Structure 1
Amino acid sequence: MNDKQKGLLPAIENLFPCAEHRFCVRNIHENFKASFRGKLYKDLLYKCAYATTIPKFETTMDELKAFNQDAHLWFPTFILNTGLRHTSLIVKGRDMPIISALEYIREYLMRRIVNVLEVIDKSEGTNAAHYTVQWNGGDLYQVSGRPGKQRVVNLVKRTCTCRRWELKGIPCEHVVAAIWYEALNGEKVGAVESWVHPVHRMDTWTQVCSFKINPINGKPLWPKSQVPTPLTHPKHNKQVGRPKKARKRSTFELEDLTQCGKLSKKETKGACSKCGSTRHNIRTCKQAR
């Protein structure tokens, strides 16, 4: 379901009043390029989406207005808070029955937790960047890098005028410079990781992955249900052809993939005809002929 369905936004606000609602930039771009196509339009769109401050967002909007005023009028202002991305980690299980799909997800989570724990064991910490810092005698610090690029940091309220600290929860280079400035002047600031939002801390990451996904027996060993009413299978009409795994591409994406009436090889993975690997082709294959 997309944002064109009337009533979706009010329903989300009613059911989840405290949840933050964001928009997918890729979907916005799909609607945007219906009227304005080209790489320059796309670059300006994503530049607006990645803006962390209102002045930077307005500067990018002025660039779009100078480039095309009609595109500027179409452009939605709510994209300032967007920046989501979609994932395709469960593409292999999309065409499976519900039980098989859940089993695929469970096994994937088991492998993922193990991989995350290995990364945690190898993690040691972060490095601080050094900027020129000036203290105002109170809670504020002026952090300067390049000329005219200084930012104001408030370590008490945990804010920075670049807004990356508030948006991501991770101290930006300006905040790290202010923290090290306090440390060099004898203040007890603790570890840099203590200034990170708890959701990004190593102990929180470890706690999330502490809940293991347990293996289970095969279907013949599953306990019998004690529900007196049997659950019948839903009526299913088998469609013609092989079930689709990949998402449906829009008309504009299909047009971009075709050139001169032939299907383009863009975004496709080729394989070596000798060994079948997707990392090289037959010309660079090192296996014996």
Structure 2
Amino acid sequence: MNCRLFIGLDACHLNGVYGGQLLTTVGIDRNNETWVLAYVVVEMETRESWTWTWFIDLLAKDVDIVNSYGWAFISDKQKGLPGAFEDIVPNAETRFCVRHLWDNFNKTYKGKVLRDQLWTCARATNVPCFKYQMEVMKTLDSNAWEWLAEKPPTQWSKSHFKTHIKCDMLQNNLCESFNNSIKITRDKPIITMLEMIRCLLMRRIQWRRDKMSSWPHQICKNIFDHVQQKKLEACNCTVQWSGGPKYQVDAGKGDQYVVNLDNHHTCCRKWDLSGIPCAYGIAAIHYKGGKAVEDYVHSYYNKDSYLAFYNNLIMPINGSQL
């Protein structure tokens, strides 16, 4: 199926007479939108009775995860998930939703200043910036800093995320978006609910494929719009160059980074994390001239790759009378 190497996992309660939960795994497509991989109805969300291990094991087989190195999973750290990750995908990168982290943080450490600083630490894209922002947190509240410092930054800060995955998401919005889209089905009988979800996904695949087929650009729409915004920000940058693939880009206020156009790398790591040129990278591309900015966008986001991805169809089936 050529799935991207980033998967969200979540669970939502069912409101029908049978109760239980719907567990979901949702990936990401070439337009940075949801791609539903698998879902299952279970009695409980514990590792023992429903077992995340069982579900993740089947998922790993379905998407051909032979060596989990290179994959990333994001979740709200539900009960049983950390152990399942260790058992089935021990080499994968595991991220935990920062909004869920904030909910736990806010139970003890309240206030807008601390909230904003936590998010600033999470959004830092390189280690020096992360360390500086953590020191700011320490000056604001040493106890809050200590609570946060105990959490591995590889699980919640962009500064420690691996770059080959080309996804810098901090929140488990993939699953939450899907759960919201099926809210009206969750009080139905189980078979009815599953049929409603299947038909919803059939319609979504067809609608997205048709919409992208008429898109006139080579990179997908959401990515194209993002690049246009970054082009505006690049206008505030100053570029210096003395030969070779590296450029010095200055945006003022101490924001100065080296950009290497040959390997699509910026020292701020924003381009590295997402695969989409940041404002510093775009400034260097404009300075160099020649190729368009869109030519530097990672192949993950090509329209042709998107359409090939959406050739994975959910087939129609007959009704119960047959």
TM-score by length of 2: 0.59
Name structure 1 gaps, 5 residues minimum.
222-289
Q: Which structure 2 segments of 5+ residues have no match? A: 1-44, 46-75, 159-168, 218-223
Pick the structure with greater CA Rg: 1
1:31 has 2:132 as partner? no
Q: Could you report, residue by residue, the CA deviation over 1:172-212 in whole angstroms, capped at 9, with x for unpaired residues?
A: 111122222222xxx5x3x4333222222222212112233
Distance 1:194 1:54, change over 3 A: same
Alignment of 1:107-118 (within 5 A): 107-118=199-210
Alignment of 1:232-251 (within 5 A): none
- How do residues 214-233 of structure 1 correspond to structure 2 at under 5 angstroms? 214-221=315-322
CA distance in 1, matches of 2:209, 2:182: 21
Say whether residues 1:199 and 2:276 are aligned partners.
no
Which residue in 1 is equivalent to 2:265? 159
The match for 1:44 among 104, 110, 117 is 117
Distance between the aligned counterparts of 2:242 and 2:118, measured in 1?
38
Q: Distance in 2 between matches of 1:4 and 1:103?
A: 27
Pairing partner for 1:168 from 274, 280, 283? 274
How far off is 1:141 after superposition?
A: 0.8
Give the corresponding residue for 1:90. Answer: 182
Question: Which residue number corresponds to residue 148 of structure 1?
Answer: 254
Tell me how large the CA RMSD over aligned residues is: 2.5
Cα gap change, 1:139 to 1:14, in 2 (>3 Å): farther
| Residue number among 265, 281, 284 corresponding to 1:178 in the alignment | 284
Tell me which residue corresponds to 2:53.
none
Amino acid at match of 1:83: L
Q: 1:77 to 1:21 in 2, by over 3 A?
A: closer
CA separation of 1:49/1:147 partners in 2, compared to 1, >3 Å: closer, same or farther?
A: closer
With CA pairs under 8 Å and 6+ residues apart, which has the higher RCO, 1 or 2? 2
TM-score by length of 1: 0.65
User: 2:240 aligns to what SS in structure 1?
Assistant: strand
Query: Counterpart of 2:263 in structure 1: which amino acid?
Result: K
The runs of 4+ residues in structure 1 deviating greater than 6 Å are: none
- Which whole-Å deviations, capped at 9, do the CAs of 1:217-247 have from their partners, x for residues lacking one? 22112xxxxxxxxxxxxxxxxxxxxxxxxxx
Specify the SS of the correspondent of 1:105. Answer: helix
> How far has the Cα of 1:119 moved from its partner?
4.0
Write the letter of the residue equivalent to 2:279: E
Question: Structure 2: how far apart are the matches of 1:4 and 1:31?
Answer: 13
> How far is 1:4 from its partner?
7.3
Q: Tell me, what secondary structure is at the counterpart of 2:137? A: helix
Q: Is the 8 A contact 1:193 1:201 kept in 2?
A: no
User: Structure 1 or 2: larger strand share?
Assistant: 2
In structure 1, C-alpha distance between the alignment counterparts of 2:309 and 2:255, rounded to whole Å: 38
1:12 aligns with 2:85: yes
